[in-house]
Amino acid sequence: MKINTEKWLTNISKHPKDVEKEYDSISHSYDAELEAKGYLAPQHAGTVIKTYVPNTDSIILEAGCGTGLLGLELGKQSFSNVTGMDISSNCLKEAESKNVYAKTVKHNLLEPFPFPEKTFDCVVCVGVFSRFDETQIKQIVTEFARVTKNEGTIIFSHREDLITPLLQQMLDELEVVRVEKMTEILPYFSIDEYYKDINIRFFILRKV
């Protein structure tokens, strides 16, 4: 199945079963199609993560790892202790084939994570939150915080057009994290016609 980025912009799948089915169906062509569309988020994320998580021995959870494009970037920067988690088993197979993850886990982000408290130095999540509303993002970020060590780092991207005052208020009021920085706007795709005016920002949170 071809990737329909117009659907991602205007009618994105949100129910976990629909997301799983969609990504299982596009996993084999995902990397090549997104490269052709100039997908930039993994490279931006790699730069942000390296800035805020300088220790390459850090234990990292990538939530919503997909086919492992960010994992490749982290591998280039010598991060080797990365767990990839995704709802799509087919995407996880693609991710595993890249040999950049210490392990992978199939899991739905809206369910409690299968990890003990304070397992990871850092949790990263890129290109995922457009499928969730503010209440769901609050639930997920709270779970990120639970599995992150004290003073650990949580980094996620979000589309600029979906960053609402309610989202920012929710993050400011969460007692388990503090917002350390929100980056400047960055281009999401460099070529795709539907995303030419869509930008992203990265949120850097600290576990408290």
Distances (CA, A) of 32 to 36, 59, 83, 96, 123: 6, 29, 23, 17, 26
Tens-level pLDDT at each residue, the chain (208 residues)? 678 888 888 888 889 999 999 999 999 999 999 999 999 999 999 999 999 999 999 999 999 999 999 999 999 999 999 999 999 999 999 999 999 999 999 999 999 999 999 999 999 999 999 999 999 999 999 999 999 999 999 999 999 999 999 999 999 999 999 999 999 999 999 998 899 899 999 999 999 9
User: What is d(CA 83, CA 154) in angstroms, rounded to the nearest whole number?
Assistant: 14
Q: Let me know: does 123 contact 155? Beta carbons within 8 Å.
A: yes
pLDDT at residue 2 in the model? 76
Overall pTM surpassing 0.75 (yes/no): yes
Q: Which domain holds residue 16?
A: 5-207
Query: Residue 168 belongs to a domain with what CATH number?
Result: 3.40.50.150
Q: What sign has the CA pseudo-torsion 138, 143, 148, 154?
A: negative
For 17-171, strand residue ranges (E) read: 60-63, 82-86, 103-106, 120-125, 148-159
DSSP code per residue over 138-153: HHHHHHHHHHEEEEEE
User: What is d(CA 208, CA 196) in angstroms, rounded to the nearest whole number?
Assistant: 37
Paired sense of beta strands 199-207 and 177-182, if any: antiparallel
pLDDT at residue 1 in the model? 65
**Long-range contacts (CB closer than 8 Å, 24 or more residues apart) made by 196-199:** 198/9, 198/159, 198/160, 198/161, 199/159, 199/160, 199/161
Count the domains in the chain.
Answer: 1
Residue 129 C-beta-side C-alpha neighbours within 13 Å: 28
